[in-house]
Structure 1
Amino acid sequence: MDPLLLAALVGISTTLVLFSGIPVGIGLLVISVGFIMVFDGVGSLPLLPEILFGKLDSFEVLAIPMFILMGAVVASSRAGGDLYSALDRWLTRVPGGLVISNLGACAIFSALSGSSPATCAAIGKMGIPAMRERGFPDTVAAGSIAAGGTLGILIPPSVTMIIYGISTETSIGRLFLAGLMPGLMLTAMFMAWSIYSTWRQGHAGTALASVSYSWKEKFEILPRILPFLVIIAAVLFALYGGVATPSETAGVGALFCLLTAVVVYRMWQPTKLWHILRDTTRESVMILLIIGAAGLFSYMLSSLYITQSIAHWISDLDVNRWVLMGFINVFLLISGFFLPPVAVILMSAPILLPVIVSAGFDPYWFAVILTINMEIGLITPPVGLNLYVINGIAPDIRLQTILKGAMPYVACMIVAIVILCIFPDIATWLPNAMIGGGR
């Protein structure tokens, strides 16, 4: 069978299986084993366990459960509420300061947890009622938290970036550096829109007049959040300063987060520690299963000459490279509407990377573009995980209202992609300056 026709058959079959509701990892295993048996014969089956576990036999993979443990510890404590309260007290006199507080807390908390849903849940539980109480419309209250939660997959340390690095065999340290400046830029864009939106709708005065905090109240909360901020700074220093590998840094960061939660928030009860370890194991196993299954899926595509044929077909297209990038962005955007970021990255990145490199694009810059596309998918239907998290926190706010509030932030992300296309150095300058060129 023609490889391109076979590629279409694989694509249709994968779409149908994943839309059936079966878990992503299991679905990829079913598709991979099925096509290998049909086209390569049962003689190839003994190789499959070795390929699956070989994909997980990497020291870099250890960073994933460690960063997830780090995030689970933070998510299980009152760190999110304290981050929100601290920023609210310090920014209460700024027009739109309450919305900015929520976005700032989302950015910091996401850097600690690396999880968009956890960020939405932790910050939203306090932020949404507070904004509604002070007169902000539901669109602003819900939309800002839903969008702020997406920052967790771009701002380092990011589990999504680790997965991209593993699937494409690129440097995780460089990926973290590449995502730092765009993550801060996107956070600034979100805050700028919030200030403008608050001023335009006439809520700035309400925010300014509603609450006032003394200097004592502003300073008394800082000791509870400073340890976590120090851990973030230490993790980033260890990563970018060449002190330790991402896996080593993740392990030490998880340990210190756990110790901080025990000391600051008195989380030494066995039940609470068990819940943290249980949640970490559950999420880690899910992601590792997807990684192993995606490795088998990539092997199937390569053994059937599908990957090579698609890359050759795309490279033979007589189109401008930016037109090609536009089509790739549309593909990623649509994929993100229906599939979680981990699945999209593991299935598409190994195929797209050779095409991206041959077209003259930087693979680390592309990782940032891909991640922002995945961020958009988190706040757009039909999947839109963050939308449902917010709806679970505030069930009286309709999904349509949450989506309406999130749409301006989607526009900010699209503008950010355009800016990064015009000025790619925003993503590439820092890793090139600190580590040097190359993969």
Structure 2
Amino acid sequence: MGCGNSKVLPEASKKGYVSVVQSLVAFSKAHNDDDDEPKKRLGKKRGPWSSTGVKNHQPPSNSQQLTLRDGRPQDKVAKYKDKFDPRVTARYDIKALIGCGSFSRVVRVEHRATRQPFAIKMMEVEAPEGREVCASELAVLQRVSHANVIQLIEVFQFPQRVYMVLELATGGELLDRVVSRGHFTERDATQALRMVLAGVGYLHNLGIVHRDLKPENLLYYHPGADSRLLVTDFGLATFGGRGMRSEVSDVSKRGDQTGAEQLWSLRTTCGTPEYIAPEVLLRRPYSCAVDMWSLGVVAYIVLSGSMPFEDDNRTRLYKSIVRGKYSFHGDPWPSVSNLAKDFIQRLLALDSATRLTADEAIRHSWVVTMAASSSMRNLHRSISRNLRQRASHSSSRCPSSTTSSSDANSMGLGKLMLLEKKQSSIMAEHLD
């Protein structure tokens, strides 16, 4: 990630505000009465492992709950709190601002009746871009229900704003957990990746493409060792792209051109640069296989603390991605098993048709055996050192990083960066 790396957002659709949030005034996924008890969710904020974006720390104490993390006084938070619709504050007590950005503000809240903590993501929907992001994210979240996917609790919709109530994870980011453990092996990596693959496989079977999978968007539900890992941040997610190889093959055999177009209809260039699949950069039709490429990048980072594709120059970065130019050089790769490297290589396949699907990846020998054939060498020191070096490099490149270009994810903890205005027009030229 680092300074200067922007999330590339899809262009706003001309269809306007989709019907999923047109007539909703106070929709609840599981409750209709204000006195009903919502599902019990526990949570706290998380902190990004890179040097940019919103800086998140531990949940504030009672005496600090109405103070922003940057030290601004309570009256600033109180003023912000006043922006919430009274029908929302009648049900939830606003505790602390978690993150803010272009289209949304996210706060930690407590249900007034049960005192259970949640996150509320308030989306501004007057602007077309805000409406599109909100509608897309809400359409996905209302559809999903899986142990390894962030859960939507209820929604309040008003003309200018939409409030999404979400479960709040307490266990921190994937890489935070890796660093804090003090001991990390390939077996630990497979345990985490199995949960991520289960969630991603569920999404893909519903025809949902996440399009922004990265460590910051993978959160543990609670601090315990037995915590489930959640896929979060559906701001760029979309329906479509169910281009599994078997489906494409079946369509091809039938000669069903309409079906083929539906399976491979995604074309929008979006995502976080270091994690974007080559077919997206080349502006070719793509499918849910783009998520599997991103998971290959995630697996590489989890095992090494470094990134397979990284360059301060965006043009060189894109070229290395479309060429699949990465290596297993440097510490700790000599101590990482061949099965683990095979797993990564089969996810970072340039040909998306040969890339592992989520169902295939979770059945890969390295994952199934939980790295039983690998050494039990502790990779923690090498991973932590590489992460520190990378963070230091990022900090030296942009010492004045702020939250001005960030937006909260569905947990209020990710970064939704501003669109690079000339990105799509110069992409092909960069890759020549």
Determine if the TM-score, normalized by the shorter chain, exceeds 0.5: no
TM range, smaller chain? under 0.3
**Please, what TM-score do these two structures have when normalized by structure 1?**
0.23
Using the size of structure 2 for normalisation, the TM-score is 0.23
Structure whose alpha-carbon radius of gyration is higher: 1
